[in-house]
A and B are shown apart, each in its own frame.
Chain A
Amino acid sequence: GPALAVQGPACLPEPAEDPGEGSGVPGLLGSVLWMAAPKKRRTIEVNRCRRRNPTNLIKIKRNIDVCPECGNLKEKHVLCGHCYAQVKAETRQIRKEMGKKEGGPFNAPTVETVVLYEGEKPTEKDEGKRIIERARKRPSWFTQN
Chain B
Amino acid sequence: MRLSLAAAISHGRLYRRLGPSPRARLDLLRNLVTALVRHERLEAPWARADEMRGYAERLIDYAKRGDTDERAMRMANFWLTEKDLIHKLFKVLAPRFQPHPGSYTRLLQIPNRDGTDRAKMAVIELKGNPYPPLVRPRRDSDKTLLNQLLKGYREDSRRQAAP
B-contacting residues of A (Cβ < 8 Å)? Answer: 68-69, 74-75, 77-79, 81, 84, 87-88, 90-91, 94-95, 106-115, 132, 139, 141-143
CB-defined contacts of B82 to chain A, threshold 8 Å: 106, 108
A-contacting residues of B (Cβ < 8 Å)? Answer: 38-39, 41, 43, 82-85, 87-88, 91-92, 96, 108-111, 123, 130-136, 138
Residue in A74, A79, A81, A108 whose beta carbon sits within 8 Å of that of B87 in the complex = A108
CB-defined contacts of B96 to chain A, threshold 8 Å: 112
CB within 8 Å for A115 and B87 given contacts A79-B110, A95-B39: no
Q: Which B residue's beta carbon lies closest to that of A142?
A: B132
User: What is the minimal beta-carbon distance from A107 to any residue of chain B, in angstroms?
Assistant: 7
User: What is the minimal beta-carbon distance from B122 to any residue of chain A, in angstroms?
Assistant: 9
A113 to B38, CA, bound (A): 12
A107 to B87, CA, bound (A): 10
CB within 8 Å for A141 and B132 given contacts A81-B111, A106-B82, A112-B92: yes
Q: In the bound complex, do residue A78 and residue B136 qualify as a contact, i.e. CB atoms below 8 Å apart?
A: no
Q: In the bound complex, do residue B130 and residue A79 qualify as a contact, i.e. CB atoms below 8 Å apart?
A: no
A10 to B132, CA, bound (A): 88
Q: In the bound complex, do residue A79 and residue B138 qualify as a contact, i.e. CB atoms below 8 Å apart?
A: no
**A–B pairs, 6, beta carbons within 8 Å:** A79-B109, A87-B133, A87-B134, A139-B132, A141-B132, A143-B133
CB-defined contacts of B111 to chain A, threshold 8 Å: 74-75, 78-79, 81, 84
Q: In the bound complex, do residue B136 and residue A141 qualify as a contact, i.e. CB atoms below 8 Å apart?
A: yes
Interface centre among B38, B87, B130 (most CB of A within 10 A): B130
Q: In the bound complex, do residue A81 and residue B92 qualify as a contact, i.e. CB atoms below 8 Å apart?
A: no
A77 to B43, CA, bound (A): 17
A112 to B127, CA, bound (A): 13
Q: In the bound complex, do residue B91 and residue A84 qualify as a contact, i.e. CB atoms below 8 Å apart?
A: no
A41 to B66, CA, bound (A): 74
Ranked 4 nearest A-B pairs via Cβ: A142-B132, A113-B130, A110-B91, A108-B88
A91 to B92, CA, bound (A): 20
Q: In the bound complex, do residue A115 and residue B130 qualify as a contact, i.e. CB atoms below 8 Å apart?
A: yes
Q: In the bound complex, do residue A91 and residue B84 qualify as a contact, i.e. CB atoms below 8 Å apart?
A: no
CB-defined contacts of B92 to chain A, threshold 8 Å: 109-112
User: What is the minimal beta-carbon distance from B100 to any residue of chain A, in angstroms?
Assistant: 15
